[in-house]
Every structure is written in structure tokens, then in C-alpha cells.
Amino acid sequence: MGKPYSYDFRQKVINAIVLDGMNKSQAAQVFQISRNTINLWLQRQTQTGDYQPKSNRPKRTNAKITDWEKFRQFAEMHGDKTQAQMAQLWSLNISTRTISRGLKKIGWSRKKRLMATGNGMMPNELSLSSEFELTLPKGYLDADGNLHRIGVMRLAKAMDEIVPMRDPRVKSNPAYATVIILSRVITRLGALEEVNPAVIEGLFAYDLNYLYQFYRQINELQDQAVDTTSVSQKCKSAALSS
């Protein structure tokens, strides 16, 4: 089997079609690839929000957590890191999903650690919280019947609102930009391995409105000391009234 096309090459082909108005047949001739390949890339983008090549690497067998006291101490030591970083630091080969389930089992809640300073200044004067914990009013129900409610949303960057504007789904339906933006800024939701547009599409409308209000709150009030508890309560109230 030949080496898959690079991501940059795929992006050039898709942009030529989506942004430059080139039809599929022309793109196939210009870039010397089959039209069927182009169709597969566009279909993958529609389904997953991206056109990354599928990995052909065999799946690794991940270990399980058996020593819970050791894991509890590990969480206390490395709790300020992402779940992916924690998975890399664990002594055995372990997935981020196993880390997430382990944290949930020991009842551990991720909190920002404020770094102590030696010049007498308050921590809030030196740092800006960029991630906020949230709790969905109803929760996301996955295909296995598992409910995911607790998550983390980060502050949005300029590219988070720029990139969706290039997406063909947004061009045909501008309201879809909200789905893509939320999938970019929600870094964790329950035990899910990732939060992609398909997950946001599967939310209850009540929860979608809650997340939209939450997004507006943390990004418009970032220059103030944001109490995530009060933000969450305000968003639930807004969701109820809409």
C-alpha cells in the first residue's frame, strides 16, 4: 500500500475546491489524483470535521489501573497536567480514556493550581485562568448509553472563530459555526476521548444553549475574576429561560 497523501497536500486540494471554486474533475486533473479520492476526503471532512489520513498502525494494548492508592498519589502530583500528559507519565502504557475513568473513580476533580510567588504579589495578578470546569444540565449520551456531564472549556483564540468560516458546512448554514467552535474549545467532556463536531451535534438542545451561554460568559468576562460556579449557574438559568 502506498504512503498516504500528506495533510498539507490534502488541504491544498480541498481549498482549491471549497475556496477557489474548482470542481472535482478539474482538481483531480491538476493534482493528479482520482476523483474518488477527493470524494473520500470530502466525506471524511463531513463526518469528522477533518480530512486527516486514517492511521494504519496496529492498536496498542493499554494497561489497566490496579494500584489505586498509587494512582491517587500520582493524580495529586500531576493533577495540573492534561490527561494526555498524565497518560505519558504513568509507569505503564495507558490511554487518556483510562486516565479519565480512573480520575472519576477516585472522585478527583481537576483544579487549577495557583503558583506561589516570592515578590508579594497575588497569584491573580500574574496569571489568567484559561480553562473552566462546566457541568451539562442533562449530559451527552454516547452510543454505549454512558452519560457525560462534567467537562472543561478553554478560552477561545482568534483562530477558533476564523477557521470555522472556511468550512463548507458553515457556508451553507452559518449557524453550524457554533458547533465547530464549541468542538474546538471544549477540551474534555466526561470520559470521551475527544470532543468533535459529531459530539456537539448529539447534545440536547438545552445543553447546546447552556454551552453557548457558558462560552460567551468566560470569553466576555475574562478580564475579571470569573467564578466558574456562578457562571455555570447563570448559564443554566439562561438555558431555562430560552
Lowest mean pLDDT among 23-37, 106-120, 181-195: 106-120
How many angstroms separate the CA atoms of 15 and 10, rounded?
9
Q: Pick the residue with more confidence: 28 or 53?
A: 28
pLDDT in tens, 131-181: 889 999 999 998 888 999 999 999 999 999 898 999 999 999 999 999 999
DSSP H/E element including 199? helix 197-201
Amino acid 232: pLDDT: 52
C-alpha distances out from residue 169 to 25, 43, 48, Å? 21, 12, 12
Amino acid 98: pLDDT: 87
How many angstroms separate the CA atoms of 237 and 139, rounded?
16
Is the predicted pLDDT of residue 128 greater than 60, yes or no? no
Lowest mean pLDDT among 9-18, 41-50, 108-117: 108-117
Report residue 115's pLDDT band, with 50, 70 and 90 as the boundaries: very low
Selection from 1, 12, 79, 74 nearest residue 41 by Cα: 12
Q: Pick the residue with more confidence: 141 or 85?
A: 141
Q: Pick the residue with more confidence: 234 or 99?
A: 99
Burial (0-12, 13-18, 19+ Cβ within 10 Å), 3: exposed
Is the predicted pLDDT of residue 89 greater than 60, yes or no? yes
**Radius of gyration for the alpha carbons in the chain, expressed in angstroms and rounded:** 21
How many angstroms separate the CA atoms of 103 and 221, rounded?
30
Show the cell assigned to 78: 500531576
Amino acid 182: pLDDT: 95
The residue behind cell 495507558 is: 94
pLDDT in tens, 205-219: 999 999 999 999 988
Amino acid 201: pLDDT: 94
Report residue 9's pLDDT band, with 50, 70 and 90 as the boundaries: confident
> What mean pLDDT comes out for the span 7-34?
86
* pTM over the 0.95 mark: no
For 107, list phi and psi in degrees, rounded to 5. Answer: 70, 30
